[in-house]
Structure 1
Amino acid sequence: MDTMSEPRAMNLRFPDPEQRAAIAAAAKQEGVSMQEYILSAAYARATAIEDRFLDSFKESMARSGAAFAAEPSSIDATAEQRAAEQQAREFEQQGQGHAA
């Protein structure tokens, strides 16, 4: 059964008549149908939630980056470690690092 072949109207049943009246009045004031008003409100709410999520994620990333920058990393070599590694490479390249 192909449900995408024909557009169908939304089912706009409201158990609360006051809620329906309020939505109908707001839609009329905006100059749109109730369906369009409800869809626009749902879209606005969804994008606001998405924006809030993305903002929170960016803040979290910034805090994480700051925390990692503040702590010395165990994988980053210190100047002394780099110098020792360089000396070991030079020693090995000169042939002195191997047993004869």
Structure 2
Amino acid sequence: MSESSKAMSLRFPSPEHHEAIAAAAKQAGVSMQEYVLSAAYERATAVQRRFLSAFERSMAHSGDAFAAEPSPLDPTPEQRAAERAAREEVEPSGRGRAA
């Protein structure tokens, strides 16, 4: 496979845009392809960080909302005691658990 067939085809909306990117790539000391790919990667990871940040805020908000109001699905103290007793039957307290 020749080098030219591996090259990325870069198209720009205007000659001015092409010149600006060529100048920025030259100043950075990289090829235009590398400059464009790096910029695309940085933009994608910035979008990912914003998404994850918003997701974390949403999870915290949802968790706070669920914690604020008891649900009919929440176990009663009696159900929790029964679960604890059943767990102790299966996992006797005298025996260590495997790591």
| Normalised TM-score (structure 1) | 0.69
**Structure 1 segments (4+ residues) deviating >3 Å:** none
Residue segments in structure 1 that go unaligned for 5+ positions in a row: 1-6, 87-100
- 1:63-98 residue CA offsets vs partner (Å, 9 max, x unmatched): 00000000011112445xx39xx8xxxxxxxxxxxx
Q: Which amino acid aligns with 2:63?
A: G
**Following superposition of structure 1 onto structure 2, how do residues 40-59 of structure 1 map, counting pairs within 5 Å?**
40-59=38-57
Q: Which amino acid aligns with 1:22?
A: A
User: What is the CA–CA distance in structure 1 between the aligned matches of 2:42 and 2:75, rounded to whole Å?
Assistant: 49
Matched length: 76
Question: What SS does structure 2 have at the residue aligned with 1:72?
Answer: coil
2:92 alignment counterpart = none
Q: Which amino acid aligns with 2:10?
A: L
Residue segments in structure 2 that go unaligned for 5+ positions in a row: 83-99
1:12 is aligned, of 10, 13, 20, to 10
| Normalised TM-score (structure 2) | 0.70
